[in-house]
Amino acid sequence: MSGHSKWANIRHKKEKTDAQKGKIFTKLGREIAMAVKAGGPDPETNSRLKDAIAKAKANNMPNENIMRSIKKAAGDISTDDYEEIVYEGYGPGGVAIIVETLTNNRNRTAGDIRHIFDKYGGNLGTTGCVSFMFDKRGQIIIEKNDSIDEDSLMMSALEAGALDVAVEDEYYEIITEPQDFSKVADALEKEGYKFESAEVAMIPKTTTTLTNEEMIANMEKLIEKLEDHDDVQNIYHNWEQG
């Protein structure tokens, strides 16, 4: 995936984080809770939980919030009625979009997601209609600064098991196999690197560029409305932003 798109998305998310920390932390807490329910409260034996914790830390979620979410989930049954549902579809200009949700009312969520797609020039598709255009990969973004030695970072990432390190204008992008994500993230964190983003994500194999101003405006609105929806956990797309 071209780096410019990812960096623009991270910048956008960071701005929203400042304004909506509570909402984002709630979603991250729910993701942690579902991971605990699926594999227990120990991140050393629950790789899904370990990945969720790394993602929460990259979003500046305080450690006490993370621990509270784990402890609550370990003794709580309130998340038992939630299910994970993935929606796939197209945005304006044929942009491929994947939306991961956690919901306790699949009919409500499906209706809401379809309405958002329809309202902003997209259309919801069937399962598998765009997922083949993405690879599941661990992805770590580190902002460039004068204190980072490029060669040292590359060596550390590759020695820890990373697949690739891409050098972009403003940041470094480290890509891993999903099962190696936590190992690489741990190694880099121990060396003092700070992450702008760290998660197991769906990375597009190719990107789509929009030139029509109305389509661009609708695409921005579509993503914004999906991000604001309480049931939406993650959004992946192949829009290449200028």
> What's the average model confidence in pLDDT over 214-239?
94
On whether both 157 and 126 belong to a single domain, the answer is no
CA-nearest of 229, 186, 189 to 26 is 229
On whether both 124 and 216 belong to a single domain, the answer is yes
On whether both 214 and 191 belong to a single domain, the answer is no
On whether both 151 and 123 belong to a single domain, the answer is no
For residue 215, what pLDDT is reported?
96
Across the chain, the runs of DSSP E, i.e. the strands, are 83-90, 96-103, 123-124, 134-143, 164-167, 171-176, 197-204, 208-209, 232-237, 239-240
On whether both 67 and 98 belong to a single domain, the answer is no
Question: What gap in Å lies between CA 89 and CA 239, rounded to an integer?
Answer: 13
For residue 16, what pLDDT is reported?
61
CATH of the domain at 31: 1.10.10.200
On whether both 107 and 160 belong to a single domain, the answer is no
Counted domains in the chain:
3
On whether both 123 and 212 belong to a single domain, the answer is yes
Report the predicted TM-score, pTM, of the whole model to 2 decimal places: 0.86
User: Which of 53, 74, 95 lies at the terminal end of a domain, its last residue?
Assistant: 74
On whether both 167 and 68 belong to a single domain, the answer is no
CATH of the domain at 110: 3.30.70.980
User: Which of 34, 57, 74 lies at the terminal end of a domain, its last residue?
Assistant: 74
On whether both 63 and 116 belong to a single domain, the answer is no
Q: Over the stretch 17-68, which tens digit does the pLDDT of each residue have?
A: 566 778 889 999 999 999 998 999 999 999 999 999 999 999 889 999 999 9
Torsion of CA 139, 140, 146, 147, to 10 degrees: -140
User: Which of 74, 106, 123 lies at the terminal end of a domain, its last residue?
Assistant: 74
Residue 88's domain comprises 83-132+205-240
For residue 35, what pLDDT is reported?
94
- The answer to whether the Cα torsion of 25, 27, 31, 33 is positive or negative is positive
